[in-house]
Structure 1
Amino acid sequence: MLEVVKDTDQGYKFLVKSSRGHTLLESVPFKSEKDALQKMQALKPLVKNSVCFERKTDHMGRFQFSLKDEQGIIIGNSQLYRSEAGMENGIKNTRSRIISS
C-alpha cells in the first residue's frame, strides 16, 4: 500500500507499507501533497531498475536502504534492519508493493 501523509511542519511524505501495515519506506518531505503524489506515481518504472536502491550499514552494524530517483537523489529511506538478509527482503517487499499498487 502506498499513501501520502501530512508531515509535521515540513509538508507531505509518502509511505510504502507492507500487507501487515508496517512502513517499509518513508519518503523525504515534499512541499505539497501534489508533489508527493507525483513522485509516488513515478515509482513503478523506477523500482524495476535495481540501481535505484542504495544499501547502507550504520556504525552499529545495522542495515538500511535508500530509494533514489533518476538523478540519484534520495527520495526515501527504509527502517533499520538487524541483518543484511532482512534488508534485502525489505527491498524485495518494497519493490513488490510499489509495482502492485
Structure 2
Amino acid sequence: MIKINKDDNNTYNFSLNTSSGNALFYSVGFSSEEEIKNVVSGLNMIDKQQYIFERKTDHDGNFLFNLKDRKGQLIGNSQLYGSEAGMENGIKNLKKSIATLNKSKEL
C-alpha cells in the first residue's frame, strides 16, 4: 500500500507499506502533488532496470538502501537493517510489493 502525505512545509512524500502495515520504503520530499504522483506511477518500471538501488552502511554498521531514478535523483530510502542479507531481502520485498501494486492497478 502506498500512502501519500503532505507535510507542514507543503511538500509531499510517500511511504510504501506491507499489507501488515510495516514500512518498506520512505520517499524524500517532493514539491508538488503532480510530481509525487508521477514518481509513484513510474515505480511500475522498477523491474525494467529504470531504477538504481544504492546499498549503504551507516556509522553504526546498519544496512540501508536508497532508490534513485536512472538520472541519479534520489527517490527515497529504506529502513535500517541489522544485516546485509536483511537489506537484500528488503529490496526483494520492495520489488515484490511494487509488482503486486502494479497488478492491482494501484500504481
When normalised by structure 1's length, the TM-score is: 0.90
Unaligned runs of 5+ in 1: none
Question: Does the 8 Å contact 1:46/1:70 carry over to 2?
Answer: no
Secondary structure class of the residue paired with 1:91: helix
Q: Displacement of 1:7 after TM fit? A: 2.4
Alpha-carbon distance between aligned partners in 1 of 2:10 and 2:60, rounded to the nearest angstrom: 29
Report the more deviating stretch, 59-68 or 30-39.
30-39
**Aligned mates of 1:50, 1:38 — CA distance in 2:** 14
- Alpha-carbon RMSD: 1.6
Q: Which residue does 2:99 correspond to in 1?
A: 99
Deviations 1:34-79 (A, max 9, x none): 2111111001113442861110011111000010101011111001
Q: Percent identity?
A: 48
Q: For the Cα contact (< 8 Å) 1:13–1:29, is it kept in 2? A: yes
CA displacement at 1:4 relative to structure 2 = 1.1
Aligned residues: 101
**TM-score normalised according to structure 2 size:** 0.85
Which residue does 2:38 correspond to in 1? Answer: 38
Q: SS in structure 2 opposite 1:20?
A: coil
Structure 1 counterpart of 2:25 = 25
Aligned residue runs from structure 1 range 4-83, under 5 A: 4-49=4-49, 52-83=52-83
Cα distance in 2, alignment partners of residues 16 and 47 from structure 1: 16
Whether the aligned pair in 2 keeps the contact of 1:14 and 1:37 (CA below 8 Å) is no
